[in-house]
Amino acid sequence: MKVGFIGLGVMGEPMARHLRAAGHDLAVWARRPASAAALVAEGVPLYATPAELAARSEVVITIVTASADVDALAFGPDGLAAGFAPGAIHVDMSTIAPAMARSLAERHAARGIGFVDAPVSGGGQGARDATLAIMAGAEADVLERVRPLLAAMGKRIVHIGPPGAGQVAKACNQMIMVAAIQACAEAMRLADAHGVDLAAVRTALSGGSAGSRVLEVMGAKMVERDFAAGVEARLHHKDFALLMDEAARLGAPLPVAAQVWQQLNALMGAGWGRDDTSSLLRVLEAASPRGAG
């Protein structure tokens, strides 16, 4: 397929490479052309505007930061909508508000364009390994047309429901995952307060009912005090802003998520937004300095 790709960050670049390796005709647009330099050096065309990229593509995939970013890419000046031919498909793999995904789908549909919201879980490692979990919101026929593309980037593709449903599933994913990171941080903080070996505690917990991917990865980062970003904490903060706004709009009580949200606010206030979310441990240490070394 002729595929356009926008969003060549930590996750986007390896995802784009998997599409190319699978035999698809890849082209890109980049807000910062330097981010596309490696692909361009390998012969991947770089287009001047999103509209020009859309005009040569059957499908354009976007993975950027926020709802406003996707909206501007699709419907801003020289946006995708200006270039798409009827029958083309926009696949957005960003994490955005469900309401924005539904709005994008409606506006695209009015122009004869398909839309899939397909947020992912698995982080940079999952992107590099093509093992991402993909949560898709789309009409079934539209999803089937792009399934081969998604299969080149991910290991599990689940059709959640109509457009917007993928973003609801992603919000649920983020609630569970970041709450687990917070729980891991609290466990490490309690162990440290007792003066016991954190690595030994993590090893013991990993073999029991508390064992999890979060404990394996984030627990190791906490034990080693390696707060370099896997995924920057500011992105989880952004995701929680979306889901807490949805909770307020729907009147859905999310008491644990609300407490985690406040810890993420404290993390951001401490200036650690571009560090890893395992920095939630440092938020606890700042509140009770013993063992913060």
Nearest to 145 by CA among 94, 85, 74, 90: 90
For 193-281, list the strands marked E by DSSP: none
How much of the chain is in helix, strand and coil states, percent to nearest 5? 55, 15, 30
**The token pair that represents 99 in the structure block:** 């309401």
Catalytic residue among 155, 170, 221, 238: 170
pLDDT in tens, the chain (293 residues): 999 999 999 999 999 999 999 999 999 999 999 999 999 999 999 999 999 999 999 999 999 999 999 999 999 999 999 999 999 999 999 999 999 999 999 999 999 999 999 999 998 899 999 999 999 999 999 999 999 999 999 999 999 999 999 999 999 999 999 999 999 999 999 999 999 999 999 999 999 999 999 999 999 999 999 999 888 999 999 999 999 999 999 999 999 999 999 999 999 999 999 999 999 999 999 998 664 44
All residues at 6 or more sequence positions from 172 whose CB lies less than 8 Å from its CB, including other chains: none
Determine the Cα–Cα distance for residues 98 and 200; give it in Å rounded to an integer: 42
Determine the Cα–Cα distance for residues 29 and 47; give it in Å rounded to an integer: 5
Query: In degrees rounded to 5, what are phi and psi of residue 158?
Result: -120, 125
In the prediction, which pLDDT does 229 show? 83
DSSP assignment string, 87-107: T-EEEE-S---HHHHHHHHHH
Determine the Cα–Cα distance for residues 269 and 104; give it in Å rounded to an integer: 33
| pTM summary value | 0.92
User: 205 and 213 in contact (C-beta within 8 Å)?
Assistant: no
Determine the Cα–Cα distance for residues 219 and 198; give it in Å rounded to an integer: 9
Q: C-alpha angle 34/39/43, rounded to 5°?
A: 120
Query: In degrees rounded to 5, what are phi and psi of residue 161?
Result: 165, -155
Residue with tokens 């993590």: 202
Q: Measured in whole angstroms, how far is the alpha carbon of residue 105 from the centre of its chain?
A: 19
Structural domains of the chain ordered from first start: 2-162 (3.40.50.720), 168-287 (1.10.1040.10)
Determine the Cα–Cα distance for residues 280 and 153; give it in Å rounded to an integer: 30
Determine the Cα–Cα distance for residues 69 and 55; give it in Å rounded to an integer: 20
Determine the Cα–Cα distance for residues 279 and 164; give it in Å rounded to an integer: 31
Question: Does residue 170 carry a catalytic annotation?
Answer: yes
